[in-house]
Chains A and B, each alone.
Chain A
Amino acid sequence: LAKTTQPISMDSYEGQEVNITCSHNNIATNDYITWYQQFPSQGPRFIIQGYKTKVTNEVASLFIPADRKSSTLSLPRVSLSDTAVYYCLVGGNFNKFYFGSGTKLNVKP
């Protein structure tokens, strides 16, 4: 059972870097880790995905340690429009999927 846990909420200021960590102690060998962003009344939107080490795209970085029991989403220089709920999702390869409980990020001016 790949139970995932995240902090309930985080506050930040515009222009700062934000790091959100997800714990997934029972991750399966062939599970991937994916992060999503969700605004109210919308479906989750893909941010980034990884299996191990570090992945970077145009909007975020994902850090996964060697034991893969946690992952950290890094958002560089957040803006007000990044205020949303961020979820980690563990699963893949026809395994079950497990969402974290979500981290509500509040970006202040």
Chain B
Amino acid sequence: DSGVTQTPKHLITATGQRVTLRCSPRSGDLSVYWYQQSLDQGLQFLIQYYNGEERAKGNILERFSAQQFPDLHSELNLSSLELGDSALYFCASSRRPGQGADEQYFGPGTRLTVT
């Protein structure tokens, strides 16, 4: 158990809908990262937040958005869902990014299925 929690574990929804994935980092970790894992694209970095602020952006679609709240939990919002958005979405957290690289601890993931 990494200490990172993600909810829900599974999500099934229809095309065109909007969903919110939630992540709680390990106690004391200030940074949260979101990744998408699909069979054809592998593990893709989406976005990083540090202490509430966006700090790095990867291959995140405009239909997707994220935020980190004052209590440090984070949410990833996916809208206008398409079949191709079906994937495993991982959240990771780390303690002090920016001072070298930090070890990221990954949550168990949320499996999103778009039908």
Contacts and interface: CB of A to CB of B under 8 A. Distances in A.
| Binding partners A and B | yes
Interface of B: 2, 4, 33, 35, 42-45, 48, 50, 55-58, 90, 92, 97-98, 100-109
Most-contacted residue by chain B among A43, A44, A98, A102 (CB, 10 A): A43
Interface residues of A, number: 26
B101 A46 contact: no
Contacts of B92: 43-44
Contact of B107 (A31, A43, A93, A96): A43
B42 A93 contact: no
Contacts of B103: 34, 46, 49
Contact of B43 (A45, A49, A93, A99): A99
A51 interface: yes
Nearest to B44: A99
